[in-house]
Amino acid sequence: MLITRSQALALSFFTVLYNILEGTIAIFVSSTSGSNALFGFGLDSFIESLPRTVLIGVHSK
């Protein structure tokens, strides 16, 4: 089964939005609970979003 370009972009866009939401929630909860591990998890979610954001920008043209 082949994925079309628009389907791949939609999946990448969804993944970026999900990772940003996940990171935001994790960092907010870590600030209320004081958990460094949870803060690191949230930061990692933002870092994972960066390459996908670049791919969306490159392939959406």
The tens-digit pLDDT sequence of the chain (61 residues) is: 898 988 989 999 999 999 999 999 999 999 999 999 999 999 999 999 999 999 899 888 7
Residues 61, 56: Cα–Cα separation, whole Å:
9
Residues 46, 61: Cα–Cα separation, whole Å:
24
Residue 3 has a pLDDT of 86
Contact 59, 8 (CB under 8 A): yes
